[in-house]
Amino acid sequence: MNSSFNYKHLFYFWVVAKEGGMARAAEHLGLALPTISKQVRALEQELGVSLFKTQGRNLVLTQAGVVAMREADLIFAIGEQLPCRVREVISGKMVRLNVGISDGIAKMVVHSVLAPILSEPDLRLLCHEGEFEQMLGELAMHKLDLVLSDRPATAHSELRITSRLLAQSPLAWYAPPSLFAQASCGYPQSLASVPMLLPTSHATLRLKIDHWLEREHITPKIVGEFEDSALLATFSAEGMGVFPGPVAAQEELRRSYGLEKIAVIKEVEEQFHLIYTARKVLHPLLNKLLAIAKNS
């Protein structure tokens, strides 16, 4: 670490970039405009590059400024978490794990995927759900320790994001009692005669299902599309339609929703990927999940 680097200069630059101008940053921080301007100029002199340029009446980041802003985001995101993390260590309690859950993944399987670490004493599990790219952004800023997704992340050498296949499950069709007989008789062509619920295009699973239906020459009667797999099960349980779900969730779907498996969908599986940033020191629970993935 460069001990001569002035992080106060970086902080003022960061606020200016976030606020979109020197005047707004000065107002936000309760400081005089010349003070803010001087701090930013000092950082530019230290780095030997211009971080801002004028564009009309606006102040915008240069290419170097974009890079500096990205790094500042990482630094100050970690800084925001520091007091809470230190207090937890001092108390001797609580192992915090921040998990991002991509909106396309089957939520009913998340518990079983994380089951190997749930017995950790004093675990505090924080689960955040969102779109795939949003979760990767949170991971890159170290706001998340890992992301669970139905797809791998594209390798990104700069952000050091990497993926590991953690688990996979065959898919099956499930139906409520009111539709089970009709959907089962003459399977798979019988699926064309019953209403169908499907995941939205956010899920990698949707494309696989669409291809399978096309191969089987089935024109589905799609009556609903859902991002959340639990909503798929809920609406199916009310008799709205049949839907595809992981075989791994069969017992939960039967017990909690009263749904029965029609048949396994041949050659179609749902994957569960563990995405993380490759750092020298990884979260111990992340290491445990990676070890399980390696041995499975």
Per-residue pLDDT of the chain (296 residues; tens, 9 = 90+): 455 678 888 888 989 988 888 888 888 888 888 888 998 999 999 889 999 988 887 888 998 988 888 888 877 776 766 666 566 555 556 688 999 999 888 888 888 889 889 988 888 899 999 888 888 888 887 888 999 999 998 865 556 788 899 888 899 999 999 999 999 999 999 999 999 999 998 888 899 999 999 999 999 999 999 988 889 999 999 999 999 999 989 999 999 999 999 999 988 999 999 999 877 678 889 888 888 877 76
Please report the pLDDT score of residue 1 as a whole number.
44
Please report the pLDDT score of residue 273 as a whole number.
92
> Which two tokens mark 46?
């230290």
Contact criterion met (CB below 8 Å) for 260 and 185: no
> Which two tokens mark 271?
């994957």
Distances in Å between the Cα of 240 and the Cα atoms of 56, 178, 226 are 56, 9, 13
Whether the full predicted model's pTM is greater than 0.75, yes or no, is no
Please report the pLDDT score of residue 100 as a whole number.
93
* CA–CA separation, 189 and 218 (whole Å): 6
- Taken in order 282, 288, 290, 291, the sign of the CA dihedral is positive
* CA–CA separation, 12 and 276 (whole Å): 30
**Interstrand relation of 146-149 and 195-199 (parallel, antiparallel or unpaired):** unpaired
Please report the pLDDT score of residue 293 as a whole number.
78
What is the C-alpha end-to-end distance of the chain, expressed in Å?
Answer: 39
- Where residue 20 falls (left for φ over 0; alpha for ψ -120 to 50; beta otherwise) is left
Q: How far is CA 101 from the centre of its chain?
A: 4
Distances in Å between the Cα of 63 and the Cα atoms of 58, 75, 135, 271 are 16, 19, 25, 38
Q: Residue 23 corresponds to which amino acid?
A: A
Contact criterion met (CB below 8 Å) for 253 and 139: no
Query: Domains in the chain, start-ordered, CATH in brackets?
Result: 7-78 (1.10.10.10), 93-165+273-295 (3.40.190.10), 168-271 (3.40.190.10)
